[in-house]
């Protein structure tokens, strides 16, 4: 499968099937760990106001997965919850962008667009920070949680590690505008256009890795096959 237009239409048709089987998209702000998540999978985020060229279909703005190394024990929900941020605890509504590259990119784009002078000097610096630094970054972490939490997403059970990697790579390559004129470009209002990573701005995705890879069709075929196997009403 190498025709990019046909491949895109195949992907979005499969996403529509998946959405029906899952009973609709979710928003991370409404999700919790007691929901029946599959242990391992792929997730795809959309963003309100980011339409495909048909003006009716939300476009995918991020493709992600987890546990791509043999030693990783991260589950799908654990990864999603890192992106979502905190619900309770000492910093409700906050989060840790040092544990989520998705949060890092969204926060950097907010800094570039809106300033955030208090958080800007240390955002993305180091793998851990003292309490006073986290306190200065707290309001920006909350803004990141609000932005990501409002984004609709779908997920798909993919137990096999190599298969997850293949699907993620191929879908990013297909959706990316970094190597060619984008079929479904970002709107002028898309926050990602303020990201500091050229790959995000050029691809119209909240992704950096694989945005310049060549689309093969192999991962897309695996994705479509997995969607066809999903039982209606179940994410696994």
Q: What is the pLDDT of residues 26-82, one digit of tens each?
A: 999 999 999 999 999 999 999 999 999 999 999 999 999 999 998 899 999 999 999
Place of tokens 């986290």: 134
Across the chain, what does the average pLDDT equal? Answer: 93
Q: How many CB atoms lie within 10 A of CB 68?
A: 12
| Residue 164 belongs to a domain | yes
Residue 182 in any domain: the answer is yes
pLDDT above 90: percentage of residues in the chain? 85
> Would you say residue 127 lies in a domain?
no
pLDDT for position 80: 98
Any domain includes 60: yes
39 within a domain of the structure (yes/no): yes
Cα 88 to Cα 24, 81, 85, distances in angstroms: 26, 12, 10
- Assign 96 a pLDDT band (cuts: 50, 70, 90): very high
Q: Please check whether residue 207 lies inside any domain of the structure.
A: yes
Distance, in Å, from the CA atom of 65 to the CA atom of 3, rounded to the nearest integer, reads 25
Quick check: is 136 in a domain? no
- In a domain, residue 144? The reply is no
Range of the domain at 25: 4-79+149-190+198-229
Q: How confident is the model at residue 234 (pLDDT cuts 50, 70, 90)?
A: low
Say how many domains are in the chain: 1
């Amino acid at each position: 499968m190498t025709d990019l237009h046909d491949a895109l239409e195949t992907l979005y048709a499969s996403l529509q099937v998946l959405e029906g089987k899952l009973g609709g998209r979710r928003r991370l702000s409404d999700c919790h760990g007691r929901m029946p998540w599959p242990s391992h999978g792929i997730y795809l985020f959309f963003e309100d106001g980011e339409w495909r060229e048909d003006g009716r279909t939300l476009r995918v703005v991020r493709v992600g997965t987890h546990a791509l190394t043999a030693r990783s024990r991260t589950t799908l929900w654990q990864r999603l919850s890192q992106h979502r941020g905190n619900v309770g605890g000492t910093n409700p509504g906050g989060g840790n962008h040092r544990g989520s590259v998705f949060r890092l990119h969204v926060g950097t784009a907010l800094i570039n667009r809106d300033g955030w002078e208090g958080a800007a000097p240390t955002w993305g610096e180091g793998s851990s920070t003292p309490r006073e630094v986290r306190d200065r970054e707290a309001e920006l972490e909350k803004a990141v949680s609000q932005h990501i939490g409002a984004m609709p997403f779908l997920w798909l059970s993919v137990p096999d590690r190599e298969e997850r990697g293949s699907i993620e790579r191929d879908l990013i390559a297909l959706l990316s505008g970094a190597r060619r004129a984008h079929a479904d470009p970002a709107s002028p209002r898309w926050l990602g256009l303020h990201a500091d990573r050229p790959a995000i701005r050029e691809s119209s995705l909240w992704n950096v890795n694989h945005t310049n890879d060549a689309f093969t069709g192999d991962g897309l075929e695996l994705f479509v096959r997995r969607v066809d196997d999903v039982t209606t009403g179940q994410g696994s």
